[in-house]
Amino acid sequence: DVKVTQSSRYLVKRTGEKVFLECVQDMDHENMFWYRQDPGLGLRLIYFSYDVKMKEKGDIPEGYSVSREKKERFSLILESASTNQTSMYLCASTPADRGRAGYTFGSGTRLTVV
Amino acid sequence: DQQVKQNSPSLSVQEGRISILNCDYTNSMFDYFLWYKKYPAEGPTFLISISSIKDKNEDGRFTVFLNKSAKHLSLHIVPSQPGDSAVYFCAAPRGMEYGNKLVFGAGTILRVKS
């Protein structure tokens, strides 16, 4: 089974803190994604990476950055956390040649910024 | 710009009856659609997909219907079971030029009452 593992299930951080969300996949997938899920808005793409050290902005990249130093690991960074970044964060991966067939998601990190 | 729309935030159905979840899209270039299911505190999991060359795809209790002229698809669950209670997301890949990144609808919460 493909596994996408997100390091934290729940996080509580203070406004202004720098926050790191980690994601690791074990199937040698090229593509990795960060989405956030909010009620009434569905899943919105924050950032996307199709290779080590490569990244692309998604639909809502403001206030976020990413890092992909190794193929299996894709980190989402909140440079200065704000309350409007309270959300469920979902990491996903897919092989380069099967993007249309769907993604494998991690279990999510529920982040609360106070 | 919400290219995939799920206009019903929630749906409540009696066990054993049919559940019908609807999805509309605006981009006529979409040619492949997916449904994901998400339980609380878990990541979305792939449920069923359909290519635009078909108008129906069936997998056990789940059937997806596609009406290209109306830009509408629906997911039918027959018979509905309490374990089907979850959030259902409709999604479509944006196209090769966008790396086939998925765009999601807002989701529909399905509650199956026993």
User: What is the three-state SS of A27-39?
Assistant: CCCCEEEEEEEEC
By Cβ distance, the residue of B46, B99, B107 closest to A42 is B107
Region B39-59: what's the mean pLDDT? 93
**What's the confidence (pLDDT) of residue B100?**
67
Give the number of beta-carbon pairs within 8 Å between A and B.
60
How far is residue B109's CA from residue B62's CA, in Å, rounded to a whole number? 16
Asked whether the predicted pLDDT for residue B112 surpasses 80, the reply is yes
Residue with tokens 């018979």: B79
Q: Which residues of B touch A42 (CB under 8 A)?
A: 4, 6, 89, 104-107
**Percentage of chain B lying above the pLDDT 90 cut:** 80
**Percentage of chain B lying above the pLDDT 70 cut:** 94
How far is residue A61's CA from residue A49's CA, in Å, rounded to a whole number? 13
By Cβ distance, the residue of B32, B36, B106 closest to A100 is B32
Inter-chain touch A99–B99, beta carbons under 8 Å:
yes
For residue A39, the SS3 value is coil
Q: Which residues of A touch B41 (CB under 8 A)?
A: 9, 107-108, 110
Supply the DSSP symbol for A37.
E
Inter-chain touch B43–A40, beta carbons under 8 Å:
no
For residue B44, the SS3 value is coil
Q: With bands split at pLDDT 50, 70 and 90, how would you rate the model's confidence at A99?
A: low
Q: With bands split at pLDDT 50, 70 and 90, how would you rate the model's confidence at B93?
A: confident
Total number of residues shown for chain B? 114
**Percentage of chain A lying above the pLDDT 70 cut:** 93
Return left, alpha or beta for A50; rule: phi > 0 is left, psi -120 to 50 is alpha, else beta: alpha
Residues of chain A contacting B, Cβ within 8 Å: 4, 9, 31, 33, 35, 40-45, 48, 50, 56, 58, 90, 92, 99-108, 110
Characterize the bridge pairing of strands B56-59 and B4-5: unpaired
